């Protein structure tokens, strides 16, 4: 017997009613940000308990996090880290999924405000990811450019790895 029904918006924009508990593969995709919880009419869902949260936890974050999802614990599943990177850093879910758990853990707690320096030493002192090596994969460069606040994840994904390296200079 279903405890509750929620509405999920899929990749194509279709809104689907789903009974809780969600199947594992759907819950995993929801955690990663590949699917979004919405109201029945497709408008953004803004409140109430999350489907994976205890019954007494409310959505929207606490006063301590100002509505920003908290950084997952070091031992959390990769799906939790992917969901955090998507929510906090605005990474595309596919880009975040392509990163290693270690790369996701190296992301700063918050994206850098626009206009801050992007040098390697200032990155480390400001809590940003250090500049990747020249031979690092494109996903690392996308994460770095996003962490510096130069581009959104979607925009950065449209550039070549070489273009991203040039932007970081």
Q: pLDDT by residue (tens digit) across 100-159?
A: 888 888 888 877 665 444 444 444 434 455 788 888 888 888 888 887 888 887 888 889
In this structure, the answer to whether residues 18 and 95 fall within a common structural domain is no
Same domain, 53 and 72: no
Residue at a domain's end among 16, 41, 60: 60
Same domain assignment for residues 55 and 97: no
Q: Are residues 103 and 161 in the same domain?
A: yes
DSSP, collapsed to helix, strand or coil, labels residue 15 as: strand
- Two structure tokens written together for 74: 């070091």
40: confidence class by pLDDT, cuts 50, 70, 90: confident
Q: Which of 36, 60, 84 is the last residue of a domain?
A: 60
What CA–CA distance (Å, rounded) separates 121 from 125? 6
Residues 74 and 154 in one domain: yes
Same domain? 54 vs 83 = no
Is the same domain home to 150 and 91?
Answer: yes
**pTM to 2 decimal places:** 0.48
CA angle 47, 53, 55 (to 5 degrees): 80
Query: Among 17, 33, 60, where does a domain finish?
Result: 60
Structural domain range at position 11: 1-60
The answer, yes or no, to whether residue 52 has pLDDT greater than 80, is: no
69 with 85, same domain: the answer is yes
Residues 39 and 23 in one domain: yes
Three-class SS state of 8: strand
The reply to whether 44 and 117 lie within a common domain is no
Instruction: Count CB atoms within 10 A of the CB of residue 49.
Output: 15
41 and 89 housed in the same domain: no
Compute the average pLDDT of residues 23-27: 89
Report how far residue 17's alpha carbon sits from residue 19's, in angstroms, rounded to the nearest whole number: 7
Report the number of distinct structural domains present in the chain.
Answer: 2
Same domain, 10 and 80: no
């Amino acid at each position: 017997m279903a405890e509750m029904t929620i509405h999920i918006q899929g990749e194509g924009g279709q809104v689907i009613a789903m009974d809780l508990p969600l199947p594992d593969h759907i819950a995993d995709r929801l955690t990663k940000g590949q699917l979004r919880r919405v109201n029945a009419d497709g408008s953004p869902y803004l409140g109430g308990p999350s489907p994976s949260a205890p019954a007494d936890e409310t959505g929207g974050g606490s006063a301590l996090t100002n509505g920003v999802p908290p950084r997952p614990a070091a031992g959390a599943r990769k799906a939790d880290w992917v969901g955090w990177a998507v929510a906090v850093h605005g990474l595309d879910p596919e880009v975040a999924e392509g990163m290693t758990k270690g790369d996701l853990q190296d992301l700063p707690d918050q994206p850098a405000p626009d206009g801050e320096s992007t040098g390697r030493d200032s990155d480390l002192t400001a809590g940003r990811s250090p500049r990747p090596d020249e031979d690092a994969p494109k996903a690392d460069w996308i994460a770095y450019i996003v962490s510096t606040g130069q581009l959104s994840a979607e925009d950065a994904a449209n550039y070549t790895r070489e273009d991203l390296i040039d932007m970081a200079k």
